[in-house]
Chain A
Amino acid sequence: MLAAASITYTISGTLGPVLAGSDPLGANGQSGVLTATASTTLTPTSRTRTSATYTLPAGAITVVISGTTYSTTGTSTLKFVHPATGPDTMVFSGTVSVSGITATVVGTASLANGSIPATVGRHPVKFSPSPQTLTAATSATGPGSKVKYGSGLLGTTVLGITGTASN
């Protein structure tokens, strides 16, 4: 079986500071990498004039924190937002199993405006330039790049991420 062409989107860097929550998994200060692999034949499950959301199969999003790899256990989503003004954003969202806990992980990469082409409304496409630098958000609700994890047991934690985004 030959695989269809795909694009791997990556957010990598150092996690921190803690922007919300108590960080029960101790991710603050650790290296973090999120990758999402999307087939270029996918079509969006929802879209607007300035955004497109793709549903990805199990395992399509991988989270690596401090060298330990976690993969999404069910379907996950990849959302691209390309507003007329302000930063473009790429949002990875999925559920992973962390040492027996099922937790939701959401990674948000804040990209330069104009990085994501409007054709992302039809199929996954590459953003440009790549790589580009990610600046950590300074608050959980404000702009910038961040990673959120949580569950009923873990509560919710939001961390900034400083590093790079590439595809």
Chain B
Amino acid sequence: MCAAPLALLAAPWLACAADFCISGTVVNASTGEPLRHAAATIPQAATLTDAAGIFRFCGLPAGAYYANAEKPGFTAAGTQVVIGPSRENILLRLQPLAVIKGKVTESGGEPLEKVLIQALSITTEDGRRKVKVESAVSTDDRGEYRLPGMAAGPYLLRAAGWQGAASGAKSSDSGETFAAVYYGGATDLASAAPLAVAAGSQLDADFSVTLAPSYRIRGVLAGFSALLPPKIELLGPEGDLSAAPVAFSPATGVFQISNVAPGSYTIRATESEGEESRRGEQAVQVGSTDVNDVLLTLAGTVTLKGAVRVAGASVSSPLPPACSVDVSPAGDSMSQETAVESSTSDDGEFEVPSLLPGRYRVKMECANGYIAAAHFGDADLLARDELLIIPGAPPPRLEAVLNRDGGTLDLAEDTDKEPVTAWLALVPDSGNDLHTRFAILKGKLSLSGIAPGDYHVYAWVGSPYEFEYANPEAQRAWAGRAVSVHVAERVHQSVSLKIAPREPQ
């Protein structure tokens, strides 16, 4: 018996006819020219396109397939294809990749070798700006760099610092360095302006940096295993990894970080074996002298335990609290660590495993209810949704209360046209992140279990990552688009939304 593809479960007489084909052409999206020797795949097979950019797969049962194509120097492209009959006209358009290049000089015009240049993509996570290092390279002996293979889009470009000693052009063993700087001159992520990179383009982006004396940080790492070399990193205030070189002696545990510019840092040591990790962190302020005698102690992971209890008039409801509990690193907009997920069980208990020492944000979302109280030891998570995991100490329990007597909003787009798919953020004026809601709006949407209070409702089309709704500055910039609404306990109300900019879909 052949596989019965999903799309044809309702038409079984077609499902076993394994004689259909998928064929098409792969082209350069910018020029329309066919691409020879592009790799075309469906999950069951792969082939290369011919001189006319054509690919062909035959002998397939009817059903839904995903056809994908890729070629070095281009972004991959794919599409869903339903066959039965055959499809002969698939067009896969690959965007040519761009190049960012430039030169780094110090203020006197001398080129700088071994400067770390990073291209950062921009997104938002939970309404906050989050960036990711997409590509990184060091300048050569002429102070030049080249970042090939960049997909079209906005990027932040950053000269992150000097990497180790070098010869030839001016290098980092000169006792001088510079603080990380973004292209355009900004020194922090919030004020850095993105660079628009078009498909297939070549962009020149030069940096001129001002050198200043550099300093050393010395200290001792305690609790490390002699068998596992620990990773010691210097992180900037945005969680960015410094380019400053680190030396470590496994015999003594002594470490030294060189070429450090004045500023605020966190030194992080991590030791990993399989899925087991241990970590130590220490905040350090570098002024106009070397910093000595820093003590870092490694500590293992802990499990955060807690519970969500039901309160309010609906307390007699037999339904258990259905809550997700996501714990993610706090404050580090450049951190690449992901959230640890957990969910409540029937009795409302939950466990978040494998948390290393550090500061975390907690996000709790429940079906048909809101978090009315949440405490982590003495910390009130409604006032500030952050928790601190202290090395070597079992964390206190996270105790939360779920209230199902929240208000309900029926939200609908106010338009006489075809409704658009839009993104919606319901942001409490209190700034309480645990009561913020994000959802997709397809013409209309009903949100229930909303905490009583005053809110601003934002709705927009386009990228879901466009609006940093947890950022007060972004809220002010979008104030003209917002609708104010007051939510009362157990009150059902309708809200009409004008969505702008409204673009045809």
**Is A50 interfacial (CB 8 A cutoff)?**
no
Q: Would you give the 0/1 interface string for A42-81, flagging 1 where the beta carbon is closer than 8 Å to chain B? A: 0000000000000011111010100001011100000000
Query: Chain B contacts of A26 at CB under 8 A?
Result: 439-440, 442, 445
Query: Chain B contacts of A60 at CB under 8 A?
Result: 43, 66
Knowing that A6-B3, A8-B6, A37-B44 touch, tell me 13 more A-B residue pairs with CB under 8 angstroms.
A1-B47, A3-B59, A12-B9, A19-B322, A20-B365, A20-B366, A20-B367, A57-B68, A58-B76, A59-B43, A139-B344, A155-B438, A158-B324
In the bound complex, how far is the Cα of B367 from the Cα of A19, in angstroms? Answer: 7
A3-B343 in contact given A35-B64, A62-B66, A99-B440 (Cβ < 8 Å): no
Do A153 and B438 touch (CB < 8 A)?
yes
A22-B367 in contact given A1-B47, A62-B80 (Cβ < 8 Å): yes
**Is B331 interfacial (CB 8 A cutoff)?**
no
In the bound complex, how far is the Cα of B42 from the Cα of A72, in angstroms? Answer: 12
Do B343 and A19 touch (CB < 8 A)?
yes
Partner of B6, one of A33, A138, A139, A158: A33
Query: Chain B contacts of A21 at CB under 8 A?
Result: 322-324, 343, 365-367
Do B343 and A140 touch (CB < 8 A)?
yes
Closest to A22 in B: B365
Closest to B67 in A: A59
Do B339 and A8 touch (CB < 8 A)?
no
Query: Chain A contacts of B407 at CB under 8 A?
Result: none
Q: Would you give the 0/1 interface string for B432-463, flagging 1 where the beta carbon is closer than 8 Å to chain A? A: 00000111101001000100000000000011
Stretch at the interface among B28-36, B123-131, B260-268, B481-489: B123-131
Do A1 and B58 touch (CB < 8 A)?
yes
Do B322 and A155 touch (CB < 8 A)?
no
In the bound complex, how far is the Cα of B297 from the Cα of A50, in angstroms? Answer: 39
Do B60 and A139 touch (CB < 8 A)?
no
A22-B366 in contact given A2-B58, A59-B68, A155-B324 (Cβ < 8 Å): yes
**Is A150 interfacial (CB 8 A cutoff)?**
yes
Do B438 and A24 touch (CB < 8 A)?
yes
Partner of B45, one of A3, A12, A157: A3
Do B42 and A140 touch (CB < 8 A)?
no
A20-B322 in contact given A99-B440, A101-B464 (Cβ < 8 Å): yes
Number of A-B residue pairs, CB cutoff 8 Å, is 179
Query: Chain A contacts of B438 at CB under 8 A?
Result: 24, 153-155
**Is B341 interfacial (CB 8 A cutoff)?**
yes
Q: Would you give the 0/1 interface string for A124-150, flagging 1 where the beta carbon is closer than 8 Å to chain B? A: 000000000000001111100000001
What is the size category of the interface that chain B forms with chain A?
35 or more
Q: Would you give the 0/1 interface string for A7-43, flagging 1 where the beta carbon is closer than 8 Å to chain B? A: 1101010000111111111100000010101110000
Closest to A140 in B: B343
Closest to A155 in B: B365
**Is A115 interfacial (CB 8 A cutoff)?**
no
Closest to B370 in A: A22
Choose among B367, B439, B442, B445 the residue with the greatest number of A CB atoms under 10 Å from its CB: B367
Closest to A70 in B: B80
Do A153 and B465 touch (CB < 8 A)?
yes
In the bound complex, how far is the Cα of B454 from the Cα of A49, in angstroms? Answer: 56
Query: How many residues of A are counted as interface, with CB atoms below 8 angstroms from the partner's CB atoms?
Result: 53
Query: Chain A contacts of B287 at CB under 8 A?
Result: none
Q: List 5 A-B contacts (CB under 8 A).
A: A4-B44, A21-B365, A22-B367, A35-B64, A158-B322
Do B463 and A100 touch (CB < 8 A)?
yes
- Interface residues in B458-496 (C-beta closer than 8 Å to A): 462-465
Choose among B5, B43, B45, B343 the residue with the greatest number of A CB atoms under 10 Å from its CB: B43
In the bound complex, how far is the Cα of B9 from the Cα of A2, in angstroms? Answer: 23
Q: Which secondary structure characterizes the binding site on chain B?
A: strand
Q: Would you give the 0/1 interface string for B343-365, flagging 1 where the beta carbon is closer than 8 Å to chain A? A: 11110001000000000000101
In the bound complex, how far is the Cα of B367 from the Cα of A10, in angstroms? Answer: 27
Do B41 and A57 touch (CB < 8 A)?
yes
Looking at the assembled complex, report how far the CB atom of B3 sits from the nearest CB atom of chain A, in whole angstroms.
Answer: 4
Do A152 and B126 touch (CB < 8 A)?
yes
Partner of B78, one of A25, A58, A166: A58
**Is B326 interfacial (CB 8 A cutoff)?**
yes
In the bound complex, how far is the Cα of B63 from the Cα of A101, in angstroms? Answer: 26
In the bound complex, how far is the Cα of B121 from the Cα of A153, in angstroms? Answer: 16
Query: Chain A contacts of B295 at CB under 8 A?
Result: none
Query: Chain A contacts of B350 at CB under 8 A?
Result: 141
Do A18 and B367 touch (CB < 8 A)?
yes
In the bound complex, how far is the Cα of B4 from the Cα of A8, in angstroms? Answer: 7
In the bound complex, how far is the Cα of B124 from the Cα of A4, in angstroms? Answer: 41
Looking at the assembled complex, report how far the CB atom of B347 sits from the nearest CB atom of chain A, in whole angstroms.
Answer: 9
In the bound complex, how far is the Cα of B344 from the Cα of A101, in angstroms? Answer: 25
Looking at the assembled complex, report how far the CB atom of A132 sits from the nearest CB atom of chain B, in whole angstroms.
Answer: 15
Do B437 and A59 touch (CB < 8 A)?
no
Q: Would you give the 0/1 interface string for A97-116, flagging 1 where the beta carbon is closer than 8 Å to chain B? A: 00111000000000000000
Do A39 and B344 touch (CB < 8 A)?
no
Do A141 and B439 touch (CB < 8 A)?
no
Looking at the assembled complex, report how far the CB atom of A115 sits from the nearest CB atom of chain B, in whole angstroms.
Answer: 17
**Is B375 interfacial (CB 8 A cutoff)?**
no
Partner of B125, one of A33, A56, A153: A153
Query: Chain B contacts of A73 at CB under 8 A?
Result: 78
Partner of A140, one of B63, B67, B344: B344
In the bound complex, how far is the Cα of B54 from the Cα of A1, in angstroms? Answer: 12
In the bound complex, how far is the Cα of B63 from the Cα of A6, in angstroms? Answer: 13
Do B341 and A150 touch (CB < 8 A)?
yes
In the bound complex, how far is the Cα of B346 from the Cα of A157, in angstroms? Answer: 16
In the bound complex, how far is the Cα of B363 from the Cα of A156, in angstroms? Answer: 9
Do B324 and A2 touch (CB < 8 A)?
no
